[in-house]
Amino acid sequence: MTRDRGQDVSVELRERLIPLFGGDIAIERLALLAGGASKEAWALDLRTPQGTRLLLVRRAGGGVIHQQTLSLEHECRLLEVAYAAGVRAPQPYGYLGEIVGRPAFVSERVSGETIGRRIAQRPELAGARAVLPAQMAEELAKIHAIPADRVPFLEAGGPHDVLTRLERELDSVEEPHPAIELGLAWAKSRAPDRGDVVVLHGDLRVGNLAVTEAGLGHVLDWEFAHLGDPTEDVAWPLVRAWRFGVDQMRLGGIGEVEPYLERYNALSGRHISLASLDYWEIVGNLKWAIGALTQARRHLSGQQRSVELAVIGRLAAEMEFELLHLLERAG
Amino acid sequence: MQDRPRADELAEAVREFIETEVLPTIDDPRLRFRALVAANGLGILEREIAVGAPLVRREVGALMRLLGSADSVPDDLDELRRRASDLNRELSRRIRAGDAPEGTLVHLLATVADKLRVASPRYLERYR
């Protein structure tokens, strides 16, 4: 980002913030935290008559937006609904329209550890790990209770639709992956009937939470939200890739599944079984294996050149290996 | 014939440069992460140069047995890679059609383990 463009962003941003925070404001600091072709994140310190506010501006990047993710306007709207429902989401302040030609919204900037490996392994977060399983269950239960008609822009799908979409994404990779095919075939023959269809976060796991020594601070990264079977969300943090090296702790490298599931069932009134978690854990591994392959294609196609995206294409084999072991165990 | 360093030695030299000279100077955690990923990518390249050819030969042999193919195994590496891709396509098609050959799961466990010997050998150790 050149100085000039940064200044343009700063000038337009201030104008758009006036309706939200009043005219007596000044930008004390504006720093690009994460670039990338799809979405940017800017740290913004805004001086207001009530004191300095620490804000986060999410803005579209210059490239093609990742398919199957919410637009920034919808992500902001969802955050508003979730925040009002008492979910520990960062407080959104409003959609800003286009800032120098790209849509953006502003929310509070929260603190806390977000790096999965540290949350799973750092000694000073041991106390947080003790309470996180129940707290994750509580947040999921609140999210799943959000009335779907408040977020009509979310796409809906039953268990079979999930598999159809994954198969289509795998085909778009144009590279044969028999291990993934075997997992898809297994899942198709055992997919549950369409039951409850609820608001899903879509990516709630260790690594997408802001965690303090007291436990879960905030639930982040809402762009994969959709409507679907609640078990899809409950099983997602079990996927081995999200255990960050602490493999024996099946829930995100931080805890056991049973108390988490018990808490979720008690709060939601549902009766999700360990067996249905097993099914959706396999689907989760399929999702992330195919996700890794499609991310590498973003690099290979030139949509977003990145060494990180390139290497992740090779790491899909990790998810394939886990998938095959889960299939072997499931029989 | 190119002079030394060989391709694997060059990849190793660049990886060592990133690890010993670049990484210690980086404070920005995101840049640091990408530098680690880059070094990891070079490690993958080193291992592929070392064992890639015998592994793809082994995969083609296993796929031909699984799918009952009586063709000969090609010698040329590019030809081998094409054959592996064709046979994997055939296996994928059969699995999707509900016609997976007997022994598919065992075959895939071995083949994916071989991919990890190049891509992520330490991950493989976590399953012991």
Whether A175 and A312 share a structural domain: yes
Look at residues A214, A199, A202 and name the one whose alpha carbon lies nearest to residue A283: A202
| Least CB–CB distance from A182: residue in B88, B108, B115 | B108
Which parts of chain A sit beneath pLDDT 70?
1-5, 35-37, 62-67
How far apart, in whole angstroms, are the C-alpha atoms of residue A1 and residue A30?
Answer: 12
Q: What is the ipTM of this complex?
A: 0.97
* pLDDT score recorded for residue A66: 55
Could you tell me if A168 and B78 are in contact, meaning their C-beta atoms sit under 8 angstroms apart? no
- What is the tally of structural domains in chain B? 1
* pLDDT score recorded for residue A3: 47
* pLDDT score recorded for residue A304: 84
Q: A189: buried, middle or exposed (CB in 10 Å: 19+, 13-18, 0-12)?
A: exposed
Q: Is residue B59 part of a domain?
A: yes
* pLDDT score recorded for residue A75: 96
- What is the tally of structural domains in chain A? 2
The parent domain of residue B53 ranges over 7-125
Residue A123: asked if its preceding bond is cis (omega within 30°), the reply is: no
Going A310 to A252 to A70 to A158, the CA torsion angle's sign is: positive
Whether A104 and A137 share a structural domain: no
Q: Is residue B1 part of a domain?
A: no
CATH of the domain at A103: 3.30.200.20
Q: Which of A76, A108, A140 is the last residue of a domain?
A: A108
Whole-model pTM: value is 0.94
Whether A174 and A238 share a structural domain: yes
Interface A-B: count of C-beta contacts within 8 A: 82
* pLDDT score recorded for residue B22: 97
Whether A38 and A124 share a structural domain: no
Whether A194 and A92 share a structural domain: no
Q: Which of A108, A134, A166 is the last residue of a domain?
A: A108
The parent domain of residue A296 ranges over 116-330
* pLDDT score recorded for residue A331: 85
Q: Which helix (H) or strand (E) holds A94?
A: strand A92-99
How far apart, in whole angstroms, are the C-alpha atoms of residue A121 and residue B24?
Answer: 22
Whether A40 and A88 share a structural domain: yes
Q: Which of A58, A88, A108 is the last residue of a domain?
A: A108
Q: What are B46-87's pLDDT values in tens digits?
A: 999 999 999 999 999 999 999 999 889 999 999 999 999 999
Give the count of beta carbons closer than 10 Å to the beta carbon of residue A138: 19
Could you tell me if A319 and A292 are in contact, meaning their C-beta atoms sit under 8 angstroms apart? yes
Q: Which chain A residues have a beta carbon less than 8 Å from that of B41?
A: 307, 310-311
How far apart, in whole angstroms, are the C-alpha atoms of residue B26 and residue B24?
Answer: 6
Whether A72 and A204 share a structural domain: no
Q: What are B81-123's pLDDT values in tens digits?
A: 999 999 999 999 999 999 999 999 999 999 999 999 999 999 9
Residue type, B116: L
Token reading at A26: 């000044």
Q: Which chain B residues have a beta carbon less than 8 Å from that of A307?
A: 34, 37-38, 41
Q: Helix or strand or coil: residue A102?
A: strand
Q: Is residue B2 part of a domain?
A: no
* pLDDT score recorded for residue A2: 45
Q: What are A196-252's pLDDT values in tens digits?
A: 999 999 999 999 999 999 999 999 999 999 999 999 999 999 999 999 999 999 999
* pLDDT score recorded for residue A7: 80
Q: Which chain B residues have a beta carbon less than 8 Å from that of A247?
A: 126
How far apart, in whole angstroms, are the C-alpha atoms of residue A220 and residue A210?
Answer: 7
